[in-house]
Structures are given as C-alpha cells and as structure tokens.
C-alpha cells in the first residue's frame, strides 16, 4: 500500500492517508501518523487495508507533508558507478556516509528554496529506504527484514558550499534540501528494490535515467554497514545515492534556478515533484 501524511484546508493538523486509485482515503482514525503505522507493524497495516473510508480527497486537493519525520536521514555519496565516474572519481571502497539535517526536510509540491549563500544548487534523484524497526549490528542477510518501505528523496546540493567546505553537511543540509515523499510504498509491493527504473526530470527533460541495479553498495549491505555503529530507529531514512546526469558535471553545468520544476520518478513508487523558488 501507499501511505502519505497530509493536511487539508478544512481539517487542523496532520492527517494520515492511504492511496486508493486517484484518491487519498483519510485513515487517521486507525493511526495518528506515519510513525504510528511503522511502530504498529502488521496489525496496523491489516487495519489500514480493511478500513472503510469515511472521507476521501482527490490527490491534487490535499497539501502533502513529508512522508515521515525521521530522527535522522543517513545519505550515501557516490553510490552509482557512472555518477562516480562523471565526477572524475573512482568507485569508493566503502559507503560514503553523510547526513541530511532535519531542517532540510520538505514535502511533495513544496518549493525548494534557493539560498542567498549559494550560486550552484544541483539536483539528485534518489531512492529512499524507510526503516521499520530498531536496527543495530544487522547482518546483511537479514537486512531487508528491517525495511518498512520505500519512497523518493531529492538530495538537493549546494555544490559551491559542498566543494569549498571539503565535507558535505552544509552543502546538503540547507533548508528545504530534502524533499521526501509523497507516499511511502510498503515493501510487500516492491518485489526487488534493486531493479527499479529511476529518473530525474528537470522542466520535463530527463536529466538522470538509470536503474537501482547499478548501485555500488546494495540496500542490504548499506543497512548492515550503517548499523555496525549507528543505530537506526523506526522511521529513519537512508538516501541510497544518485545516478549519473547531475547538473554540475555537465558541459556547461545545468543548475537549479527560480521557476524550475524537478521530478524524481521511480518505478512502482510514483513521482516526487518540487518547484524551485528564490529564498525571500
């Protein structure tokens, strides 16, 4: 199933929605938010599947919120061979880990704000893994048992800050630099997360087109590697890296500007769309 967090003009606060066809069924009576769904496991998922709709909304009539509010977003750099190569780098010998900060989180249809302090804001379409239960020192063979589901994340990057700083936290962690959603698709609907077409589309033009099979480090290994020293909590997100085609390495570079619209499209998961605006 596909689950979202949203709000409407007529109802206060966060609502929980289940995608049925082209509508969102309000299931807040079953679970108050995404964390409650994840924490409730199979019992809550069965209740959601059996719930009779009391209210339903057209998808374009709701305001989406971030698909989940994680305690942390663990991101992986240079995790596609072709992306490493386009930047003139060798494939890393181990996963390159950095963090996306909580303030960077934003939602489907919400604007990505171009900050005054950067002139090189770039796009990165990525598959996001949502953790389903507390994970510490997980064996690679068992890793997918700890996954709740999958969604889209846009790892927006201020390249001038990233390259000048020599580490990636500031360049990747600015406000609105982590759109996430709109739906989390539960893992039972995705037969193989390493066989999904992934695209990044700028103003209708495909800039990134690849497949998650081309990841250097696959999802089970990432979960294993991260949890040897970092405990992942339910609802935490792993951003698994972006494929080739980012803007900064094009000749000439193609970078985000006010008025642009960027889509992350992943097979079986849907589309995450964000307009781009100048920070006021």
pLDDT, tens digit, 9 for 90 and up, residues 167-218? 999 999 999 999 999 999 999 999 999 999 999 999 999 999 999 999 999 9
Name which of 3-17, 94-108, 125-139 the model is least confident about.
3-17
Note whether 29 and 126 are same-domain residues.
no
Q: Please, are residues 265 and 229 in contact by the beta-carbon 8 Å criterion?
A: no
pLDDT grade for 53, boundaries at 50, 70 and 90: confident
Q: How confident is the model at residue 193, as a pLDDT?
A: 98
Note whether 83 and 208 are same-domain residues.
yes
Q: How confident is the model at residue 82, as a pLDDT?
A: 94
Note whether 9 and 60 are same-domain residues.
yes
Note whether 160 and 255 are same-domain residues.
yes
Domain end, chosen from 44, 64, 84, is at 64
Q: What is the mean pLDDT of residues 76-97?
A: 95
Q: What is the mean pLDDT of residues 4-15?
A: 89
DSSP designation for 232: B
Give yes or no for residue 233 having a pLDDT over 90. Answer: yes
- Cβ neighbours around 189 below 10 Å, total: 12
Closest-CA residue to 184 (of 127, 123, 121, 122)? 127
Domain count, the chain: 2
pLDDT grade for 126, boundaries at 50, 70 and 90: very high
pLDDT grade for 69, boundaries at 50, 70 and 90: very high
Share the mean pLDDT of the chain.
97
- Domain hosting 49: range is 2-64
Note whether 127 and 227 are same-domain residues.
yes
Q: Distance between CA atoms of 210 and 203, rounded to whole angstroms? A: 18
Closest-CA residue to 270 (of 149, 114, 132)? 149
Would you state the structure tokens that stand for residue 123, as one six-digit string?
Answer: 């796009």
Q: How confident is the model at residue 54, as a pLDDT?
A: 83
Note whether 238 and 262 are same-domain residues.
yes
CATH number at residue 156: 3.90.850.10
Note whether 147 and 52 are same-domain residues.
no
Q: How confident is the model at residue 52, as a pLDDT?
A: 87
pLDDT grade for 239, boundaries at 50, 70 and 90: very high
Domain end, chosen from 64, 93, 108, is at 64
pLDDT, tens digit, 9 for 90 and up, residues 245-277? 999 999 999 999 999 999 999 999 999 999 999
Note whether 16 and 145 are same-domain residues.
no
- Cβ neighbours around 144 below 10 Å, total: 15
User: What are the angstrom distances between the C-alpha of 252 and each of 106, 137, 229, 243, 247?
Assistant: 29, 44, 41, 19, 9
Note whether 77 and 23 are same-domain residues.
no
Domain end, chosen from 16, 38, 64, is at 64
Q: What is the mean pLDDT of residues 210-239?
A: 98
Note whether 47 and 148 are same-domain residues.
no
Note whether 88 and 202 are same-domain residues.
yes
Q: What percent of the chain has pLDDT over 90?
A: 96
Q: How confident is the model at residue 230, as a pLDDT?
A: 98
Note whether 78 and 101 are same-domain residues.
yes
């Amino acid at each position: 199933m596909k689950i979202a967090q949203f709000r409407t003009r007529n109802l206060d606060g966060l609502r929980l929605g289940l995608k049925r066809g082209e509508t969102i069924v309000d299931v807040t009576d079953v679970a108050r938010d995404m964390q409650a769904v994840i924490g409730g496991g199979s019992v809550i998922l069965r209740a959601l599947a059996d719930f009779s709709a009391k209210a339903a909304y057209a998808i374009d009539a709701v305001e989406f919120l971030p698909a989940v509010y994680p305690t942390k977003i663990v991101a992986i750099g240079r995790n596609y061979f072709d992306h490493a190569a386009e930047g003139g780098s060798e494939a890393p010998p181990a996963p390159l880990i950095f963090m996306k900060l909580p303030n960077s989180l934003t939602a489907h249809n919400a604007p990505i704000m171009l900050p005054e302090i950067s002139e090189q804001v770039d796009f990165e379409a990525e598959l996001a893994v949502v953790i389903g239960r507390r994970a510490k020192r997980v064996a690679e063979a068992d890793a997918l048992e700890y996954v709740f589901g999958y969604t889209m994340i846009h790892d927006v990057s201020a390249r001038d800050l990233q390259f000048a700083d020599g580490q990636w936290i500031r360049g990747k962690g600015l406000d609105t630099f982590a759109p996430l959603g709109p739906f989390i698709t539960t893992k039972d609907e995705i037969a193989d997360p390493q066989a999904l077409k992934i695209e990044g589309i700028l103003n209708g033009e495909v800039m990134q087109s690849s497949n998650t099979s081309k990841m250097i480090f696959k999802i089970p290994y990432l979960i294993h590697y991260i949890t040897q020293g970092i405990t992942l909590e339910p609802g935490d997100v792993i951003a698994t890296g972006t494929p080739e085609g980012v803007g900064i390495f094009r000749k000439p570079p193609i970078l985000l500007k006010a008025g642009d619209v960027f889509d992350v499209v992943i097979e079986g998961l849907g589309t995450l769309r964000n307009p781009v605006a100048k920070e006021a």
